[in-house]
Amino acid sequence: MPGAVWLAQRPPPLPAAVAVAPAPVAVSASGVAATSAATPDEPAAPIRIGLPTLGTDAPVVPVGVDERGEMAVPDDVRTVGWYRFGPVPGTAGSSVLAGHVDDRIQGRGAFYRLVELAPGDPVLVGSAGGSARRYLVVDVERVDKTRLPTAQLFARDGPPLLTLITCGGEFDRAAGHFRDNVVVHARPA
Amino acid sequence: MRRLTLALGGVLATVAALAAAPAAQAQETGTVYVVHGIPNTPVDVYVDGQRAIDDFAPGSSQGPLDLPSGSHQVALFAADASDGSGSPVLSANADLPAGANVTLVAHLSESGQPTITPFVNDVSAVPAGKARLVVRHTAAAPAVDVLAGGSPVISGLTNPNEKALEVPAGTVPAAVAAAGTTEPVIGPANLDLKEGTATFVHAIGSLQDKTLNLVPITVSNLHSAPSGVPSGAPSGAPSDPAVPGWLLVTAIAGLLVVGVSARRIRAGAGS
């Protein structure tokens, strides 16, 4: 099946020796840090995201809506956007972070390997105060873009959740975009 | 002060703080706001014969208030009146449909007569990233323009009419000027138009008496989600090789077939 071959061409996960140590202590080079006694600051706009099991660490910037009414994902594929009209991480509802998966000119995006996350994997979200807010992945799914349940994914009430979004699945060359969104749901640890 | 009795017909009505509706029934209700836009006239507001708002100050608003749907009578008495007997300053009788969201504005007409005008509040969903701004001309003044950042965004608005806009969320320095001019008669004042909200701004008072002012009411939680998350390849192509996987498999299979055929030919020729 074309989709399966496409995935097979992507690089394998990092060997275990390079993987970041598991919780409760997880530190990455650029400062998304969590200690066993981490107490997040007052909820504030996120500025970094860490995916320790993938060795991913990326800056986060607030973003809004583009001229088509879609979330304005940062053009720089190595930067992740946080939907600024939704909840700040740590408050009620779904905080949404999205990044471009890949690009012929720029190369692989910060969320290139998002689809490799597994339930239980940690996600660290840092804000300007310094200490990180820790989440655990609940599930990872691929959804046809035309059926993305945006009202749920961008809910501003209910339990505080973290939602990570990128693209995936088959690349539709005629249309110039991927067919699916990859959606990771995470809850506070 | 004019005493004016209005029959507002099939449209809506007023006000407030009645005794709690019986809990047992799923009673249908409507939502009501009230704006007091008549200068120098503090009033008490009576609904269906009961005092609902005490010492309602000009230039202020009350709400949201849930009222049972149906017909109500609202009367405005001078605030120093002891009760709801005698002649009200203004009174109105109207129907409130179930599920309606309305604002009743007590204000001066263009020529300075006290009156009550009901407005339906558009509290439908606001597109993602935007805010709804509704401006209502309920002041004793001729036609006005509404300026945002010095440029007109509404032109020629007259009493007692309204105009709605959807604008990008943010803080807007807004002003009201005589139609066709840019010299503010109200403002400029910063309007904080938060994403997913509707702000209803009532221009009230009298131009002649220099009592013009704005009374804003904001309704929140009207936001919509973005329609998608385009997070693929910004340049229109991903970084991996151009040949899709299935074509690669077919090409390899084709080479194998050619290779076998070549061997057979060589074997045949050499036998």
Domain extents in chain A = 45-188
CB contact under 8 A, A111 and B244: no
User: CA end-to-end span of chain A, whole Å?
Assistant: 37
Query: Which residue in chain B is spatially nearest to A63 when comparing CA positions?
Result: B129
Q: In chain A, which residues have their Cβ closer than 8 Å to the Cβ of B238?
A: 101-104, 171, 178
Q: In chain A, which residues have their Cβ closer than 8 Å to the Cβ of B253?
A: none
CB contact under 8 A, A65 and B128: yes
Pairs of CB atoms within 8 A across A/B: 129
Question: Is B210's pLDDT higher than 60?
Answer: yes
pLDDT of residue B80: 84
Query: Which residue in chain B is spatially nearest to A112 when comparing CA positions?
Result: B232
> Is B42 in the A-facing interface, judged by CB distances under 8 Å?
no
| Amino acid at position B181, single letter | T
Residue, of B262 and B63, whose pLDDT is higher? B63
- Residues B162-174 have a mean pLDDT of 97
CB contact under 8 A, A148 and B129: no
Q: In chain B, which residues have their Cβ closer than 8 Å to the Cβ of A105?
A: 234-235
- Residues B13-34 have a mean pLDDT of 58
Nearest partner of B181 among B210, B212, B155, judged by Cα: B155
Query: Which residue in chain A is spatially nearest to B168 when comparing CA positions?
Result: A65
Which residue among A85, A102, A178 sits closest to B196, beta carbon to beta carbon?
Answer: A85
Beta-sheet pairing, B144-148 with B151-157? antiparallel
Peptide bond into A24 cis (omega under 30): yes
Q: How confident is the model at residue B58 (pLDDT cuts 50, 70, 90)?
A: very high
| Domain range summary for chain B, segments of one domain joined by + | 1-121, 123-225
- For B74, the token pair is 């609202």
Which residue among B169, B235, B246 sits closest to A5, beta carbon to beta carbon?
Answer: B246
DSSP secondary structure letters along B139-159: EESS-EEEEETTEEEEEEE-T
Best mutation target among A10, A102, A142, A182 (most B Cβ atoms within 10 Å) is A102
Question: Is B185's pLDDT higher than 90?
Answer: yes
For the domain spanning B1-121, the CATH number is 2.60.40
pTM: 0.79
CATH topology of domain A45-188: Sortase; Chain: A; (2.40.260)
Alpha helix stretches (DSSP H) within chain B? 245-270
For the domain spanning B123-225, the CATH number is 2.60.40
Question: Is B8's pLDDT higher than 60?
Answer: no
Q: Which residues contact B242 (CB under 8 A, 6 or more apart)?
A: none
Question: Is B84's pLDDT higher than 90?
Answer: no
Reduced to 3 states (helix: H, G, I; strand: E, B; else coil), residue B96 is strand
Render pLDDT for B110-122 as a digit per residue (tens, 0 to 9): 999 999 999 999 9
pLDDT of residue B256: 59
CB B209 within 8 A of CB A51: no
pLDDT of residue A40: 56
Q: In chain B, which residues have their Cβ closer than 8 Å to the Cβ of A77?
A: 234
Q: How confident is the model at residue B86 (pLDDT cuts 50, 70, 90)?
A: confident
- Residues B2-27 have a mean pLDDT of 41
- The percent of residues above 70 in pLDDT, for chain B, comes to 78
pLDDT of residue B113: 96
Q: In chain A, which residues have their Cβ closer than 8 Å to the Cβ of B236?
A: 176-177
Same topology, domains B1-121 and B123-225? Answer is yes
Distances (CA, A) of B259 to B76, B247, B263: 98, 18, 6
Residue, of B251 and B34, whose pLDDT is higher? B34
The secondary structure element, H or E, covering residue A8 is helix A2-8
Question: Is B253's pLDDT higher than 60?
Answer: no
Q: How confident is the model at residue B15 (pLDDT cuts 50, 70, 90)?
A: very low
Query: Which residue in chain A is spatially nearest to B250 when comparing CA positions?
Result: A2
CB contact under 8 A, B244 and A173: yes
CA B15/CA B19 separation, integer angstroms: 12
How near does any CA of chain B get to the CA of A25, in Å?
Answer: 31
Identify the segments of chain A with pLDDT beneath 50: 1-31, 33-37
pLDDT of residue A176: 87
- Residues B209-230 have a mean pLDDT of 97
- Residues B210-224 have a mean pLDDT of 97
Q: Strand (E) positions, chain B?
A: 4-7, 29-37, 43-47, 50-56, 60-68, 70-78, 90-96, 101-108, 114-120, 130-140, 144-148, 151-157, 162-168, 170-178, 184-193, 198-206, 213-219
CB contact under 8 A, B231 and A104: no
CA B3/CA B12 separation, integer angstroms: 20
| Amino acid at position A74, single letter | P
CB B129 within 8 A of CB B226: yes
Question: Is B14's pLDDT higher than 90?
Answer: no
> Is B196 in the A-facing interface, judged by CB distances under 8 Å?
yes
Q: Kindly report the number of other CB atoms within 10 A of residue B64's CB atom.
A: 14
Q: How confident is the model at residue B93 (pLDDT cuts 50, 70, 90)?
A: confident
